[in-house]
Amino acid sequence: MTPGGPARVVDDELELAGDELDAADRAEGAADGPGARGASLLTADDRAALAALLGGDVRFDEPMRRHTTLKIGGPADALAEPGSVGALIAVVRACAARGLPVTPIGAGSNLLVRDGGVRGVVLGTRGLRGLERVGATGIRVEAGVSTGKLLKTALDADLGGLEFLGGVPGSVGGGMIMNAGTYLGELKDVTREVTTVRLSDGERVVRDLAACGFVYRGSAIRADLEVVVEARLELTPRPRAEMEATIKGLRQRRHDREPKKVSNSGSTFKNPPGEFAGRLIEACGLKGTRVGDAEVSPAHANWLVNTGAARAADLLALIALVRARVQEVHGVALELEVKVIGED
């Protein structure tokens, strides 16, 4: 801690739905057998350079199903999870110099990785866990901090504005990209500044609120061109008891309406303007529809879940089926909320 500066809080475990090991993960190699992936883009020299930069913070040929709440996904050539912004910049610059593609990810709570995995370097931000108070009502938070930890910090300080995070699993970095939120609010409501690192050259980019271009479940921050590393938030004093009552109501609503004991990524589709994706899907009679172990949840039709050993191909086929049926019946083109990366 800097003398006279704000206290630094270390992030705890990420608060994620379906974050436990499943049978497919324990059956090592089951989803990553012959033909499950393309040829690695990394040479032996590339691997040695990344290992020298990151030590134990890089893993090679890493099954991505271990790093998403859907528990689906083939292997990444390399999964790099730097422990600081400086280390992340060094990795980005090394990859740029070597011509290696970089794919940033957050906590994996809104992510579907295709069965062939991801070529090049997957850049995770779980290691960026800085979190500190700034002045009376501000918070500076790094990308890997869980939404649960951020919310607890606000509660402990009697600062309101983040109560909606009681219904949003994941991490701050991914949340900023998609403007995460619920009916109670969105990150855009409290964000004042977002810092990213450009993947082309490792330079920092600082955006004010207007430049972030937040919209419903989206922003002007392009995950294919940059990676979020930190954000500055501005909150409002509010009694803790009031906030806890709001959060309790939101979590109870989530508990009552959403699937349990299945691997999932939350809502699969964005809500169309003035409508609910779940209502449209349910009206088509699609609850319980399956492709392999991928299922339209009987509990909530906008949650397409992995009931056991689903592959990405199963879930993508189910997504296509649902979209086609909703288009046919309602004339509405559903837009994905879950992010899809990798190759078949």
Catalytic residues: 217, 267, 337
Say if residue 91 is exposed, middle or buried (CB neighbours under 10 Å; 0-12, 13-18, 19+).
Answer: buried
The closest alpha carbon to 324, from 281, 289, 264, 276, belongs to 281
162 Cβ contact partners less than 8 Å away, ≥ 6 residues apart: 150, 151, 154, 185, 190, 233, 235
- Distance, CA of 199 to CA of 323 (rounded, Å): 33
Segment holding 142, helix H or strand E: strand 138-142
Residue type, 287: K
Q: How big is the CA angle at 30 (ends 29 and 34), to the nearest 5 degrees?
A: 75
147 Cβ contact partners less than 8 Å away, ≥ 6 residues apart: 15, 165, 168, 169, 170, 171, 172, 175, 180
Say if residue 27 is exposed, middle or buried (CB neighbours under 10 Å; 0-12, 13-18, 19+).
Answer: exposed
Segment holding 255, helix H or strand E: helix 240-257
Give Dmax (Cα) for the chain: 63
Q: What is the CA radius of gyration of the chain?
A: 20
8 Å CB contact between 236 and 170: no
Q: Is 314 helix (H, G, I), strand (E, B) or coil?
A: helix
8 Å CB contact between 173 and 125: yes
124 Cβ contact partners less than 8 Å away, ≥ 6 residues apart: 67, 79, 80, 81, 104, 105, 106, 144
